[in-house]
C-alpha cells in the first residue's frame, strides 16, 4: 500500500513540475519581449523596420516588421514575400539564437506588413519546420 501511495505521489509531483515548465518558458518569453521592446522600432535595412515583439499567448513569440516604401496595393509585395519566406525559415531553423525557442516548443511568428497597413502576411516557424530532413528542403 505504501508503494502505491508513493507512486501516486510521484505521478502527481511529476505532473505539477511538467505544468511549471510551460509557465517558466512563458515567463522567459515575456522577459525577452520586454528587453527587445526597449530598442524598437528600429531599421533593419533601408526597406525594413522592426516594429515590435510580443510574447504569447502560451508558447508563441511574434516579431512584427514593416516593409517601407510599399503600399498594400503594390504587386511587388507578394514577390518579395515569396523570396523572403524560405530564407526566413532557414535562418530561424539554423540560428543559434533561436535554439531556445525550438528546444522549448515555441512557435516563432513573423508578421510583415506594408507601410500603409493595407497588406499583411504571416509566417510561423515551429520546431517541426526545423527537423533536419525538413531544413534541407525549406518548407513553404
In contact, 61 and 32? CB cutoff 8 Å? yes
Q: Is 14 exposed, middle or buried (0-12, 13-18, 19+ CB in 10 A)?
A: exposed
Q: Which residues of the chain have pLDDT under 50?
A: 1-19, 133-136, 138-140
**What cell does 132 get?**
533536419
Express each pLDDT in 82-91 by its tens digit: 999 999 999 9
**Separation CA 18–CA 105 (nearest Å):** 13
DSSP symbol at 98: G
Could you give all domains of the chain from N- to C-terminal order, each with its CATH number? Answer: 2-135 (3.30.300.250)
Task: Annotate 28-55 with b (16+ C-beta within 10 A) or e (fewer).
Answer: bbeeebeebeeeeeeeeeeebbbeebbb
Express each pLDDT in 50-80 by its tens digit: 999 999 999 999 999 999 999 999 999 999 9
Amino acid at each position: 500500500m505504501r508503494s502505491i501511495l508513493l507512486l501516486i505521489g510521484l505521478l502527481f509531483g511529476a505532473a505539477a513540475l511538467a505544468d511549471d515548465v510551460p509557465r517558466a518558458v512563458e515567463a522567459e518569453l515575456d522577459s525577452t519581449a520586454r528587453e527587445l521592446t526597449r530598442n524598437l522600432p528600429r531599421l533593419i535595412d533601408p526597406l525594413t523596420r522592426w516594429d515590435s515583439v510580443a510574447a504569447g499567448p502560451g508558447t508563441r513569440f511574434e516579431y512584427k516588421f514593416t516593409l517601407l516604401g510599399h503600399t498594400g496595393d503594390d504587386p511587388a509585395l507578394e514577390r518579395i514575400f515569396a523570396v523572403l519566406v524560405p530564407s526566413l525559415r532557414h535562418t530561424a531553423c539554423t540560428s543559434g539564437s533561436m535554439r531556445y525557442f525550438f528546444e522549448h516548443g515555441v512557435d516563432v511568428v513573423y508578421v510583415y506588413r506594408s507601410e500603409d497597413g493595407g497588406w499583411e502576411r504571416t509566417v510561423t516557424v515551429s520546431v517541426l519546420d526545423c527537423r533536419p530532413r525538413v531544413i534541407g528542403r525549406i518548407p513553404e
